[in-house]
Structure 1
Amino acid sequence: MIEPLTVYTLPNCVQCTMTKRALDAAGLPYTVIDLTTDARALDLMKQFGYTSAPIVVTRVVSWSGFRPDWIAKITAARDHPSLTSK
């Protein structure tokens, strides 16, 4: 099973909404953190060099913006038996 992703968002962010819809459609679990209400998270994302939302963080990769290509890669990795079996 794939670990939940973390999606850092802003209110009224079209790319954030599109990202969450794509993650939902792919069946990928995620946690949402609103950068307008979590100053610590906002500072951390700035330290990592991100300047736009959404920011998606996984155990091995992170990105900002609406990236259906990355969502597809994570979905494929989740669905590939040799990558998820222990």
Structure 2
Amino acid sequence: MTKRFLKEHNVNFEERNINQDPKYLDFLKQQGFKSVPIVMQDNTDPIVGFRPDSLKELVG
């Protein structure tokens, strides 16, 4: 749902799929995350899970 939200609101993003490339899972675990999706953007706190309220802030 997060990916769909970003696409519908024309927010550019880079998807890093933990199933296709497990090194991303290792990175997230090292950062202390225990669930996905995680939206990371410079200078903001990560958005964990499907959070339309927080994602709207990315839209502007």
* TM-score of Structure 1 vs Structure 2, range by shorter chain: 0.7 to 0.9
Q: Aligned pair count?
A: 59
Query: Any runs of at least 4 consecutive aligned residues in structure 1 with deviations exceeding 2 A, and if so which?
Result: none
Output the TM-score relative to the length of structure 2.
0.85
2:14 alignment counterpart = 31
Shift of 1:68: 0.7
**Residue deviations 1:5-49 (CA, integer Å, cap 9, x gap):** xxxxxxxxxxxxx10111011110111111022222111101111
In our comparison, the structure showing a higher alpha carbon Rg is 1
1:70 alignment counterpart = 54
Q: Which runs of 5+ in 1 are unaligned?
A: 1-17, 77-86
1:47 maps onto 2:18 in alignment? no
Q: Between Structure 1 and Structure 2, which shows a larger proportion of helix residues?
A: 1
Q: Which runs of 5+ in 2 are unaligned?
A: none
2:3 alignment counterpart = 20
Q: Between Structure 1 and Structure 2, which shows a larger proportion of strand residues?
A: 1
Output the TM-score relative to the length of structure 1.
0.62
Shift of 1:54: 0.6
Identity of aligned residues (%): 34
Superposed CA RMSD: 1.1
User: Which residue of 27, 33, 39 maps to 1:56?
Assistant: 39
